[in-house]
Chains A and B, each alone.
Chain A
Amino acid sequence: GAVVSQHPSRVICKSGTSVKIECRSLDFQATTMFWYRQFPKQSLMLMATSNEGSKATYEQGVEKDKFLINHASLTLSTLTVTSAHPEDSSFYICSATGQVGDQPQHFGDGTRLSIL
């Protein structure tokens, strides 16, 4: 149980393109979803926290107009990197928790984004 699916797994695109990443909880309802960015051999940096039906809470330094997050249902959250540039290249990974409160985070497999 507690499977999170993230798509696509890899994206290579030109500078200026907008890229949408989907995060789905397959067998549970995700009250909260988190979006992280991970640089090679480094830790996970929290970008934003998303709750179903409400606006995402962004961490300091993360541009909300650059990284659009939508959590329209209890099983789907999306991250759109708008007008991506080479410095946006990174590994983006989502996680979901099933209930409000102290619950384990279930992670997707991540999306490797490469902007040329």
Chain B
Amino acid sequence: GQQVMQIPQYQHVQEGEDFTTYCNSSTTLSNIQWYKQRPGGHPVFLIQLVKSGEVKKQKRLTFQFGEAKKNSSLHITATQTTDVGTYFCAGRTTSGTYKYIFGTGTRLKVLA
């Protein structure tokens, strides 16, 4: 079945350092969403990417959708302690069914 992998699985960074998580799908995606889940919390929607090669920015966060619509990345510039959490990508299949497959997630820890 379809798989969505993320690397790295864990990342510890010093506050102020940059962070990137990569999302790779085994199949072409219709679109991709990114979520953040704080420890003990529920996933919170960050952004959605639809177009091939699309790049979107939210303050210190930069999201990119690959040309082939099979991969995506999230880059955080100058991390802060509030960035701590697990970042998930979720890819929508190109089949007729409306559903999203969540990536394996990247857990970020920021050391002050």
Contacts and interface: CB of A to CB of B under 8 A. Distances in A.
Contacts, number: 53
A10 to B, nearest CB: 12
A65 to B, nearest CB: 21
Contacts of A95: 43
B109 interface: no
Contacts of A34: 99-100
A105 B98 CA distance: 12
Interface in B38-52: 41-45, 48, 50
B88 interface: yes
B43 A104 contact: no
Interface string A7-18: 000000000000
A105 B45 contact: yes
- Size bin of chain B's contact surface: 20 to 34
- Size bin of chain A's contact surface: 20 to 34
A7 to B, nearest CB: 14
Nearest to B41: A109
Given A102-B31, A102-B48, A93 B102 contact: no
Given A43-B88, A44-B88, A60-B1, A106 B45 contact: yes
Given A49-B98, A60-B1, 9 more contacts: A44-B88, A45-B102, A57-B99, A100-B98, A102-B50, A104-B45, A105-B35, A105-B43, A105-B90
